[in-house]
Amino acid sequence: MAEEKKQVPLRLSAKLYNAIAAWAEDDFRSVNGQIEYLLTECVRQRKKNGRYVSETLDEPIELDIQ
């Protein structure tokens, strides 16, 4: 039996969405699949070393995406 998945509403800036969409295309994934992959990798990394990937994870970032 497949694992039940939760639906989560998510709001992203257009720049961030476009960057993830381009990355997803490069990796042959859907945008949703790419977001799930990235979140899974972050959780896996945190479990591995007990820390977040970035010390400044909660700070807003400036995206220089054109």
pTM as predicted: 0.69
The sign of the CA dihedral 51, 53, 54, 59 is negative
Structure confidence at residue 66 as a pLDDT band (50, 70, 90): low
Q: Rounded to an integer, what is the distance from CA 8 to the centroid of its chain?
A: 13
Domain edges within the chain: 14-48
pLDDT for 17: 94
Three-class SS of residue 63? coil
Look-up of token digits 């990796």: 27
Structure confidence at residue 23 as a pLDDT band (50, 70, 90): very high
The answer to whether residues 31 and 20 touch, using CB atoms and an 8 Å cutoff, is yes
Structure confidence at residue 9 as a pLDDT band (50, 70, 90): very high
Q: In Å, what is the CA distance from 35 to each residue of 1, 8, 16, 42, 45? A: 23, 12, 11, 11, 15
